[in-house]
Each structure stands twice: as structure tokens, then as C-alpha cells.
Amino acid sequence: MQVRKMSKQELSLLDQQNQSRKMLGVPLLKAKVRKCIHCKTLFESVDKRSCGCKSRVVSSLAGVEIV
């Protein structure tokens, strides 16, 4: 099964977050391969549980999906 990779924009945001985390001395974030809770597609993500297939339906709080 094919894994959907993170976009350039998502990778850029992850890099910025990791630069800040490095300066603060906290562990860096790493992308993981996850399975979408809706359509079961494999995708790379740091914190999301959905690939975006049903983004209109999923509730969120401060950008993090509530499962």
C-alpha cells in the first residue's frame, strides 16, 4: 500500500517547530506513518489522525483533532 508523504508546506512547518524545540532543549518532533481513522489510507503525519478526507466533519481544538 502506498503512503501519502507530507507536503512541502507541512515539512517546512515541522522544520520551524523543530528549530524552536531544539533551542528550548525539548525532544524534536518526528513524522510517523499513520492510518486515517476514516478511510484507512496510510499517510505521514506528526499529530493528525485523519488524512483530510473528512476534514469538514472532524472536530478540532487548537488545530489538533479530537479522537
Q: Give the tens place of pLDDT for each residue, 23-36.
A: 999 999 999 999 98
Rounded Cα distance between 17 and 8, Å, is: 14
Give the pLDDT of residue 24. 95
Domain that residue 20 falls in = 8-65
Residues facing residue 60 across a β-bridge: 65
Asked if residue 2 lies in contact with residue 42, where contact means CB atoms within 8 angstroms, the answer is yes
Query: Residue 2 falls within a domain, yes or no?
Result: no
pTM of the model: 0.67
Q: Which helix H or strand E contains 22, and what residues bound it?
A: helix 8-24
* Residues of the chain with confidence (pLDDT) below 50: 58
Looking at the structure of the chain, the number of domains it has is 1
Query: Residue 20 falls within a domain, yes or no?
Result: yes
Give the pLDDT of residue 5. 92
